[in-house]
Amino acid sequence: MKPKTDLIDSNTQLTYKLLFESNPLPMLVYARDSGRVLYANHAAAACYGHSVAQLVELHLSDIHHPEDWPEMRERMKLTASACLPQRVWRHRDVDGHTIYVEVDTEDVDLNDQQARIVLVRDVTQHHDDVKRLRQEHERMNAIVDASNEAIISTDVAGCIQTFNPGAERVFGHRAEHMLGRSVHLLLPERYRAAHARHLAVFAKSDGTPRMMGLRIVKGLHADGRELEMEGAIALVKIGADLVLISTLRDMTELLSADAERQAARTQLSHLTHRLMSQEKDLVKRIARLLHDQLGQTIAAMRLIFETISTLRSGKKSMQLQQLNLQMQALIDQAILQMRVVLVDLHPPMFDEHGLAAALDNEMRSRALSGSPIQLVFEVAPEVATLRWESGCEYAVFMIAREALENAIRHSNATLVTMTLSGSATELELTVIDNGRGIARDSHSKEGHLGMTGIMERAKSIDASVEIGPAPERGTRIRVHWVAAQQ
């Protein structure tokens, strides 16, 4: 390789040759007219995967990517000293893989031939890193843009830097109108001063990333509506700058719907309570009517019938005697049926002696009626004499009766244990059977109206109720009531 001046002695030529061959960066020399590679060093051979001998048989078109050929040919026509912008070229190795490179060139006169020295820097790793970062940035932008939540980033002074499409939908502002403006514009005026103070406190950090969850906060829509917002705010460090990133969800409609549902539940609870109270009063009136009027009427009928029978006792035909006996039996049956109805409508001992006595009588009556199930009632002596609110006692008694009826009719149990416990301001009823059991939450399914009735009665007195499997086998129903504080 001959230098420009043609005056360099052999020692200088040897020095240049050594520098060329031992350079750790790939170096090529090619003819400017043909693009044929004239020389290549060992670093170039390692870079492209060819041997040095193979490289000097190639042309630049064998090394450059086909899409870069037009610009490569144009630059070959220009001198290396032309002020052209640096760019990344795509070269190909022996296997056809792309290598991204930057090059520095210098024109030389080599044995009366116009040639160009090329110093190659492999920037493939850097190019891949940049591409990966760009893809990650695009991916993050796509996630932020696709989010339905409002994502807003600001500096520590509250100046908006990012305002995603979700924020546009939530607040009704265009991003281009909000960038660079204060985040306080998104708050009702009465909250702005306090928010500025909170922002300053939160921003005082040593740069350690941290996040703070937000309770329900107020936002301001572009049309002046106040919004109920929930989300989180994160403090991150990007380079030397602290950035606050707020992620907000519009909870306005959800909270409004929750409030409406709560109001509906409250109204339903009041309605249930009123219906239960009306049921109790109605049952009392019907029981009183049956006892005081219908009962007296049947008793008078019986008395009159017995008087007529006495007056006719002188002469009776066989047929008349049979009719008398049938009429007597029907009157006795009517009186018995009326007493059963009275017991069902208004349990005996309930008003005079209270819940514990009424439950004990209920269990004994069912046992005496020939129930095939062993019935056990457990109550401590100090609890047996307690009295609770009238509405509470009635609801709990009806729940106990329904639970007992379900166990006897449907559980295939051999034992039902009812336990009453509590204090002057608290009451707990537990009914456990050893039957086939019940799945958790099955009371909410269609066909379990008895269980639904138990829950509604418990709700009417603001009591909690648990219906589910017993600890060992069978079903457990637990009702817990606490007196409201005055």
Query: Chain centroid to CA 480: how far?
Result: 30
458 and 464 Cβ atoms separated by less than 8 Å? yes
Asked if the model's pLDDT at residue 86 lies above 90, the reply is: no
212 Cβ contact list (under 8 Å, min separation 6): 202, 232, 233, 234
Q: pTM for the complete prediction?
A: 0.46
What pLDDT is recorded for position 145? 82
- Could you report the per-residue pLDDT of 334-384, keeping only the tens digit for each? 666 666 665 555 666 667 788 888 888 888 888 877 778 899 999 999 999
- Look at 426 and 252; give whichever has higher pLDDT: 426
Plot region of 105 (φ>0 → left; ψ -120 to 50 → alpha; else → beta): beta
pLDDT digit string (tens) for 223-266?
999 998 888 888 888 877 888 888 888 888 787 777 777 776 66
pLDDT single digits (tens) 62-79: 999 999 999 888 888 888
Q: Which helix or strand (DSSP H or E) is residue 153 part of?
A: strand 150-155
Strand (E) or helix (H) holding 91: strand 89-92
CB 184 within 8 A of CB 160: no
What pLDDT shows up at residue 78? 85
Q: Which two tokens stand for residue 74?
A: 């144009």
Instruction: Walk across the sheet containing 113-122 and list its strands.
Output: 37-40, 27-31, 113-122, 98-110, 89-92
Round to whole Å and give the CA distance between 422 and 379.
10
The tokens describing 444, both together, are: 């909410």
Let me know how many helices (H) and strands (E) the chain has, helices first: 17, 15
Residue 210 reports pLDDT greater than 70: no
